[in-house]
């Protein structure tokens, strides 16, 4: 990931603040105050990066922050933490 948008940072921060809760994409969009398409992109990117878990349910998948990070996703997590700090997103 080369750049972190404020919308993406808000999605990541929302997961970080609520580590035990499962969210649908619609809930991510509402809680993070982003468009639904942005929420879908953010959850997909975070899942591919290994920062959120995915529960494949019907009709909508659910996502939550992973309890622990692994070595492979540490760089992405650090980049997102730094972006949240710079943008003052908590």
Query: What CATH number corresponds to the domain at position 29?
Result: 1.10.10.10
Q: Contact at 8 Å (CB) between 11 and 31?
A: no
Residue-range definition of the domain harbouring residue 36: 6-84
Assigned domain for 55 exists: yes
Alpha-carbon span 80 to 59, nearest angstrom: 29
pLDDT along the chain (90 residues), means of 10: 86 93 96 96 92 90 86 83 90
Assigned domain for 89 exists: no
Would you state the pLDDT for residue 1?
A: 61
Q: What count of Cα atoms within 13 Å lies in the side-chain half-sphere of residue 10?
A: 14
pTM of structure:
0.88
Provide the number of structural domains found in the chain: 1
């Amino acid at each position: 990931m080369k750049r972190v948008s404020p919308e993406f940072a808000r999605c990541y921060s929302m997961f970080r603040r609520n580590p035990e809760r499962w969210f649908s994409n619609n809930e991510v969009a509402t809680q993070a105050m982003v468009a639904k398409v942005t929420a879908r992109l953010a959850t997909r990117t975070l899942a591919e990066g290994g920062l959120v878990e995915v529960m494949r349910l019907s009709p909508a998948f659910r996502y939550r922050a992973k309890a622990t990070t692994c070595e492979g996703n540490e760089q992405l997590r650090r980049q997102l933490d730094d972006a949240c700090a710079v943008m003052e997103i908590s």
